[in-house]
């Protein structure tokens, strides 16, 4: 009986830990080409989206600069608007030297905002 209880508890633990990253990439991300550089739970070329979500959890403001976040020409805006700008226009500096390629106009502003909300919602 004891081994059955232990097995049930172990199985429940595995199911719970497996569901942490059970979220699939949205179809919008797949059709927009995001999956070439990003995954939800691990770094490819760009950061894992879960890492992005964790980094910006609780952050309200974003400084966007096409040359990177440490430049004097950075424009401060809300976090969601700043990340949307980064996705739309590209840039470097937040996650290393590999640039984020521009995605506008092939991905609409509304679609970009939808992706930003999805990414930021991953870290709860």
Q: Calculate the alpha carbon distances from 34 to 72, 73, 94, 98, 112 in Å.
A: 29, 27, 17, 15, 11
* CATH 1.10.760.10 at 24-120, yes or no: yes
d(CA 20, CA 41) in angstroms, rounded, equals 9
Q: Supply the pTM of this predicted model.
A: 0.77
> pLDDT tens digit string along 23-73?
789 999 999 999 999 999 999 999 999 999 999 999 999 988 876 656 677
Q: Where are the domains of the chain?
A: 24-120
CA distance 100 to 17: 31
């Amino acid at each position: 009986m004891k081994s059955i209880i232990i097995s049930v508890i172990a199985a429940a633990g595995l199911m719970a830990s497996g569901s942490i990253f059970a979220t699939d990439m949205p179809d919008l991300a797949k059709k927009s080409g995001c999956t070439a550089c990003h995954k939800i739970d691990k770094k490819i070329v760009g950061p894992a989206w879960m890492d992005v979500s964790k980094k910006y959890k609780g952050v309200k403001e974003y400084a966007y600069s096409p040359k990177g976040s440490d430049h004097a020409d950075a424009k401060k805006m809300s976090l969601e608007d700043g990340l949307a700008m980064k996705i739309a226009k590209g840039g470097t500096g937040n996650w290393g030297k590999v640039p984020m390629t521009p995605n506008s106009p092939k991905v609409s502003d509304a679609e970009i905002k939808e992706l930003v909300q999805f990414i930021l919602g991953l870290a709860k």
